[in-house]
Chains A and B, each alone.
Chain A
């Protein structure tokens, strides 16, 4: 499925859009990490919590649960919630 990457993470992907596969959000993020080593830990902590300033949307709806099922036709959008100066 299509995954849109925010600018803060493009040092990993070197592009704003990439492809990843998986039946759940967790699987898609794991697939992303296989392709772009280290990218998952910048978004998800060691307790499998999405980090405070990261938002993930699937087909326009915010998803907070990594076990959320996904379909191959879904579009995943990762957003950085910029904070501070």
Chain B
């Protein structure tokens, strides 16, 4: 979901529910074989598909700039060509390739340098920095653009810092298709306050615009037998900051669901209150745009060999409305049995409407929506390639 710079005190100034519904939602779907844009009507009942864009390209993320409502960035590669970033300044009608996509610095003579395999994550910068974007890559690297995504440079010291390189590990230490730097978060109150996650490598924070970083690991669990004090063993899957309370973050981790309330640096495992037969393993984490006590997760089967399917083939969203004390199953409309898909970390999101619309894309290429905060689900597209990312934006 796009960043929202609203503060709690400003919530009373929000448009009425009717005014909110008059805005149309654009859902951006990035898949293993291209991208699609879904344009909703004012009621979010019917959807017009626009695509494929970049058919055959592997799209890991497709994000609309909330600061201008027009610029789209797409992180792309193919199985045989190197990675790049495509830009559109007219919401996808035309595209132009970045002049200098994210790339690591050239190694000194005789040294082994790293090469970006794919850009995995895109985050628009702070509202006060209209042309700034951040990107996270695999192998793990952090990059920044100051010209709206046309040119990219390594950002901060972490890409070449010996300690961070140790925490990042090698290709063999990460997820099956490479370790990923993700969940780049900009505090809506301060452009210099940043977070990111590494799979593996933990959660990290900077309060000085990326000049220095420190891990935030307290309270997070790791796989049994490993040292939780070591950042490299931590695997945050998705971290989100609450727009209505930027001091609160939620995290879906390899080892549970967590909440962090700053200034504390101690994560609380709120997933322990999930039903035992479901567990609290999964990938996506979705926060409510106006209620910091409400989040949604999509649990998966993380037992035995990690099938990474819906538990027992019965997909369901779980929501909490009390910051993780209790969870409620939301599966009305979703298949009741024999549905073995799941949802990747970037493939579930919310719009800012009232009631909030939820969107999830499945590994089996289906796009599901809920217009009532998860109570009822409808499939609006099927037979797409495996879905990697889903983002939603409201258009004026």
Contact = CB atoms under 8 A, between A and B. Distances in A.
Given A37-B97, A37-B99, A46 B81 contact: no
B80 A54 contact: yes
Interface in A35-49: 37-38, 41-49
3 nearest CB pairs, A to B:
A45-B115, A53-B80, A46-B103
A82 B80 contact: yes
Given A41-B101, A45-B82, 16 more contacts: A8-B80, A9-B81, A37-B97, A41-B82, A42-B82, A44-B82, A45-B103, A46-B106, A46-B116, A47-B104, A47-B112, A48-B106, A49-B115, A54-B80, A54-B81, A81-B80
Contacts of B82: 41-45, 51
B104 A46 contact: yes
Interface string B81-103: 11010000000000001110101
Interface of A: 8-9, 37-38, 41-49, 51, 53-54, 80-84
B79 A82 contact: yes
Contacts of B104: 46-47
Interface in B104-141: 104-107, 112-116
A7 to B, nearest CB: 10
Contacts of A38: 84, 97-99, 101
A47 B114 contact: yes
Nearest to B100: A41
Contacts of A80: 80-81
A30 to B, nearest CB: 15
Interface of B: prevailing SS: loop
A41 B79 contact: no
A23 to B, nearest CB: 21
Contacts of A84: 79
Nearest to A40: B82
Contacts of A82: 79-80
Interface string B72-83: 000000111110
A57 B166 CA distance: 38
Contact of A42 (B81, B105, B106): B81
A8 B58 CA distance: 13
A64 to B, nearest CB: 16
Contacts of B98: 38
B290 to A, nearest CB: 41
Given A38-B99, A46-B115, A46-B116, A51 B79 contact: no
Contacts of A9: 81
A49 B114 CA distance: 10
B80 A47 contact: no
A83 B79 contact: yes
Contact of B81 (A37, A43, A47, A48): A43
Nearest to A37: B99
A8 B84 CA distance: 14
Contacts of B81: 8-9, 42-43, 51, 53-54, 80
Contact of B107 (A41, A47, A54, A81): A47
11 contacts: A38-B84, A38-B97, A41-B84, A41-B103, A43-B81, A47-B114, A53-B79, A53-B81, A54-B80, A80-B80, A83-B79
B180 to A, nearest CB: 18
Nearest to A53: B80
Q: Which of B78, B82, B99, B114 has the most CB of A within 10 A?
A: B82
A48 B108 CA distance: 12
A49 B82 CA distance: 11
Contact of B113 (A43, A46, A53): A46
A29 to B, nearest CB: 13
B36 to A, nearest CB: 19
A16 B113 CA distance: 32
Q: Which of B97, B103, B106 has the most CB of A within 10 A?
A: B97
